[in-house]
Structure 1
């Protein structure tokens, strides 16, 4: 197979994939409309959910009646917490996280404003809710309660301190409850614990839950140039990582029993996740309420006898998709850095990229060096590919002679061709197989550059100040097109179809325009890859000419 034809097929396949994604987004199946508030009230069943008078989505416990009565919650206040990596707002009505920013990450390049991950505004909500439901749970819709009490309204991690505990307390129907948020220096994971004492003279039944709530449509979407997933995901003891987007929620509620597991809401570089006790049975669930999607988990019912106490808790993570930190929290949570089905290749490549960056302290240089390294490792396959194509090119007259001799007898032509290949020691698939081995590696490296939060706002040099943004002067796309044109000239075109010839001739221009919207880090990778390919082709062709093999069209 000729290299130009192979490149054309692969390029068209990639472009077709992106176009298919765009078509699915615009014209694909639409989600089933969410039920109205009235419909939801009619379908509330034990262990389901409802929306309270503040607009918050709440679960009803396993022992709760099928019909619930909304009760107004007294107005509450916000407790603010500041650490070195998190700024959090906690609503004291139920102890929910209703605001969260990341001071280590800018909202936009050069804005000096922190990245806003979670917030609750009129018409939009992205919050982390948790509580205690069940027959005696204070967060059950059948129960009215007072907001949590707090010692101070502002908390800040002190210099020299590695931990900050924010306690909220309440007493409900004989249950003394302290909800603790435990923050740690340099960490995006927060331990959320409940210390519960049954001070009554009867047994109490409660059930911990935690879930994430987000408006389904927030105006953000992926594009053909940058396919980005925004939606929910979960992990269980059967499936380490599964996406469950808002369309899935609208069609079917997630309902999975698992020992441990986790639930999350994803966006391009950041993730919010609840990780319950990994040793205890959990119920993973999802729902749609109006314009909001929910994914969460709840534990089994806990029964406390009079005078008995217990401590239950879970871990809440909100921050960048840093694989090493996520992997420690739960099995499969690091897969939210979604490399697709090539993750087993992408993860070692990411480790290699970060290792290189640790030495050169520049992500642009790290991209160049890992491209050089990967292309160098793939050189033996590249050499086999071009030598095989050269041998096939030299056999072309003999092949055409056989085709003319047996043009009316296909059954004899096949064996004759195979005998010719055997006699000349040529593998007709020798030019294709190396390419099939190389493509997964280069595609895996592509997804490393797309998904890695480390490249967000990372500068390179000169006019490239953000490797995750497009080239502001379009210089890299133009250089890429010129390198692609040089490769075409070095590898003479073998296709004879006039239409294919025209397509091949205009491909450098088309790809230059196509790459204008790509992140500059990706374009840098492809440009450097082309330069290395040019050098390898010149070296390989020179060696083949010394062996008497033609490298140009006869």
Structure 2
């Protein structure tokens, strides 16, 4: 029995010696196989693409898809993004740069692994620099996906960060895989972050801002299980203390006019810590951190996230994550702006011209409001017809205001006149006007949208101010038609009403030309409507109208 035990002990010791002696070779073989397998599934370039990002650093990886030129540094962070379907300014052929890093302006995104300082400190995440097998990558025409893995190995821990680009999409998938090939457990977490300067230099803005227009929203936003949508202005963040909350995170975003950068969690399954704070003097940061995960020896752990970098497209963004379409700032009348945009978009799908679509939607609105506006103009016309009688009452009862007021009210009732009916159409029109304004300045579809001749951007002001001038002329015609022919037309009051259109049009000089176009069509419709009502009243007894 003892001899058998001795033989078993000898065999066990021999087997252990062989395992220990070859452990390093097996260990290295496992790591090499993992890397080789990932590399074999990827495509890369041998030469630098033409016209790609200029003045690029030596330690930067360049990526080109049908939507992006992207620069990724050797820490795995995206440094610069150019959008190939958008230009910086009208008549400027430079691609629009969304993310950048300059001495006077920073707009950056990054995500990766963070270690737990309290437990299992393996000195993993200090001075890590990724390596990859090429400096230049391109999504070819016959490809639908491009996978780019970045590798980092330290202390027998293999970290692979893989960027996955899809043809025709602004959504980038980023997968993190951690392989614990050492002999002790590690505790690591995951973070995503967006940093942006609170003040954007004028040359990086989409267009010039002036004091006569409402400025678009600049700030951060997030969505969680308890809070569907919450946003903070940069000015509020600079004043307040740091913001922290713990909840099931859907997404975090940096907001600006037309474009956005959003980190999205594909799995809404665990609580994360969202933080918003100020870095340095003027850099605003929003990010989230996951819980720490214990990775035992020989095991691996995957972290998945998605990054949207590009235009705010409501139809697509609403499908990616709940409430993501709310990143489009439609103002306090958002529900009405969305409704108008859906109708405008439907009309555009038929006529294929945004300017013509605005004209059609204006006519639709006026036709729907015709019964109310007709009452308004009939009331004005009746009051003009009654001016001789009102003047007689004023001469007779002018000294007694109480009797004069009763006589006027009685006269209005007799002729079925409601003097306040004119305010109803104004009250209804103002929300439509404001909703249309917010829609025009925040819908990416209308950015640099052409109409006719000199109007090359319906979301921006008329460069020659022809539309505002024409609008003031239509307002003068309306004032002329509304003028009481029974009053003294040489009075100061009668002349003053012709000055109002010029003053009013002054505020329209810097408004979007699409909005001015709406107002012009609206005024033309009003002129025709007034002419029609006057025609009916001249051919019928005005009391019966």
TM-score bracket, normalised by the shorter chain, equals 0.7 to 0.9
CA spacing shift, 1:98–1:427, aligned 2, 3 Å: same
Counterpart check, 1:475 vs 2:466 = yes
Match of 1:264 among 253, 257, 278: 253
Q: 1:318 is paired with a residue of what secondary structure? A: strand
Counterpart check, 1:533 vs 2:520 = no
Contact 1:193–1:312 (CA<8 Å) still a contact in 2?
Answer: yes
Counterpart check, 1:198 vs 2:188 = no
Contact 1:76–1:147 (CA<8 Å) still a contact in 2?
Answer: no
**Which residue in the other structure is 2:92 paired with?**
111
Deviation per CA, 1:404-449: give whole Å up to 9, x if none. 8698686x99888777766654444322223322321232122222
User: Could you tell me how far 1:544 is from its partner in structure 2?
Assistant: 3.6
User: Could you tell me how far 1:85 is from its partner in structure 2?
Assistant: 0.8
Separation (CA, whole Å) in 2 of partners of 1:401 and 1:79 = 86
Deviation per CA, 1:459-484: give whole Å up to 9, x if none. 22222223233323322121111111
Q: 2:507 is paired with a residue of what secondary structure? A: helix
User: Could you tell me how far 1:298 is from its partner in structure 2?
Assistant: 2.2
**Which residue in the other structure is 1:63 paired with?**
none
Contact 1:222–1:228 (CA<8 Å) still a contact in 2?
Answer: no
User: Could you tell me how far 1:228 is from its partner in structure 2?
Assistant: 2.1
- Mean alpha-carbon deviation: is it higher for 384-393 or for 328-337? 384-393
**Which residue in the other structure is 2:271 paired with?**
281
User: Could you tell me how far 1:269 is from its partner in structure 2?
Assistant: 1.7
User: Could you tell me how far 1:517 is from its partner in structure 2?
Assistant: 2.4
CA spacing shift, 1:545–1:87, aligned 2, 3 Å: same
Contact 1:276–1:297 (CA<8 Å) still a contact in 2?
Answer: no
CA spacing shift, 1:499–1:323, aligned 2, 3 Å: farther
Contact 1:260–1:277 (CA<8 Å) still a contact in 2?
Answer: no
Deviation per CA, 1:313-345: give whole Å up to 9, x if none. 221111112111221222222122211121111
Contact 1:133–1:140 (CA<8 Å) still a contact in 2?
Answer: no
**Which residue in the other structure is 2:331 paired with?**
340
Counterpart check, 1:521 vs 2:514 = yes
- Mean alpha-carbon deviation: is it higher for 213-222 or for 320-329? 213-222
Separation (CA, whole Å) in 2 of partners of 1:438 and 1:100 = 41
Mapping of residues 233-382 of structure 1, within 5 Å: 233-252=221-240, 253-277=242-266, 279=268, 280-290=270-280, 291-382=282-373
Mapping of residues 34-49 of structure 1, within 5 Å: none
Separation (CA, whole Å) in 2 of partners of 1:538 and 1:139 = 84
RMSD of Structure 2 on Structure 1 (CA): 3.3
Contact 1:216–1:246 (CA<8 Å) still a contact in 2?
Answer: yes
CA spacing shift, 1:467–1:409, aligned 2, 3 Å: closer
CA spacing shift, 1:156–1:142, aligned 2, 3 Å: closer
Contact 2:121–2:186 (CA<8 Å) still a contact in 1?
Answer: no
Contact 2:393–2:404 (CA<8 Å) still a contact in 1?
Answer: no
User: Could you tell me how far 1:489 is from its partner in structure 2?
Assistant: 0.8
CA spacing shift, 1:517–1:138, aligned 2, 3 Å: farther
CA spacing shift, 1:407–1:110, aligned 2, 3 Å: same
Separation (CA, whole Å) in 1 of partners of 2:59 and 2:436 = 47
CA spacing shift, 1:550–1:109, aligned 2, 3 Å: farther
**TM-score of the aligned structures, taking structure 1 as reference length:** 0.77
CA spacing shift, 1:408–1:297, aligned 2, 3 Å: farther
Counterpart check, 1:434 vs 2:421 = no
Contact 1:260–1:278 (CA<8 Å) still a contact in 2?
Answer: no
Match of 2:504 among 492, 500, 511: 511
Query: Which runs of 5 or more structure 2 residues have no equivalent in the other structure?
Result: 1-56, 203-207
**Which residue in the other structure is 1:9 paired with?**
none
Deviation per CA, 1:185-228: give whole Å up to 9, x if none. 11111111212223333332222111111122222474334422
CA spacing shift, 1:230–1:140, aligned 2, 3 Å: farther
Deviation per CA, 1:467-519: give whole Å up to 9, x if none. 233323322121111111111111116999x9976764322222333323233
**Which residue in the other structure is 2:130 paired with?**
148
Separation (CA, whole Å) in 2 of partners of 1:402 and 1:235 = 64
Contact 2:120–2:186 (CA<8 Å) still a contact in 1?
Answer: no
User: Could you tell me how far 1:89 is from its partner in structure 2?
Assistant: 0.7
Bigger Rg, which one: 2
Mapping of residues 419-498 of structure 1, within 5 Å: 425-492=416-483
Contact 1:132–1:138 (CA<8 Å) still a contact in 2?
Answer: no
Separation (CA, whole Å) in 2 of partners of 1:154 and 1:246 = 36
Q: 2:356 is paired with a residue of what secondary structure? A: helix
Q: 1:517 is paired with a residue of what secondary structure? A: coil
- Mean alpha-carbon deviation: is it higher for 516-525 or for 360-369? 516-525
CA spacing shift, 1:409–1:124, aligned 2, 3 Å: closer
Mapping of residues 167-182 of structure 1, within 5 Å: 167-182=149-164
Deviation per CA, 1:365-406: give whole Å up to 9, x if none. 112122122222221221122234445556664699599869
Query: Which runs of 5 or more structure 1 residues have no equivalent in the other structure?
Result: 1-74
Separation (CA, whole Å) in 2 of partners of 1:138 and 1:431 = 75
- Mean alpha-carbon deviation: is it higher for 534-543 or for 362-371? 534-543
User: Could you tell me how far 1:256 is from its partner in structure 2?
Assistant: 2.8
Separation (CA, whole Å) in 2 of partners of 1:468 and 1:81 = 31
- Mean alpha-carbon deviation: is it higher for 276-285 or for 522-531? 276-285
